[in-house]
Amino acid sequence: MTILPPLTGTPLDYVPIDAPVGKRSANDQPTRFKAPALRRAAIAAIVAGVSVALFILTPAVFIGAVSIAFISVCVWGTDKLIKAIDSHDQT
């Protein structure tokens, strides 16, 4: 039977007291600890930035698409009207 860790287990940012931070390794470089909090904060910042950008840019893109569609329909309708007027004079 395995013993499960407590529900409030070790925090993800936990650094043991006896971690060899100052100890030199085989290649003579100190041990570096990369905090997962920084990685999580960077991911959260990227997600927030993308969501804000989409929130701001989506209405602008939608308005632009509607404007282009409106102009296209107006040009098409004007062309049809000109052709109808021209054909009316010929008969």
64, pLDDT greater than 80 = yes
Flag whether the pTM goes above 0.85: no
Q: How sure is the predictor about 71, in pLDDT bands with cuts at 50, 70 and 90?
A: very high
Rg of the chain, C-alpha, whole Å = 33
Q: What is the pLDDT of residue 25?
A: 54
User: By percentage, how much of the chain surpasses pLDDT 90?
Assistant: 38
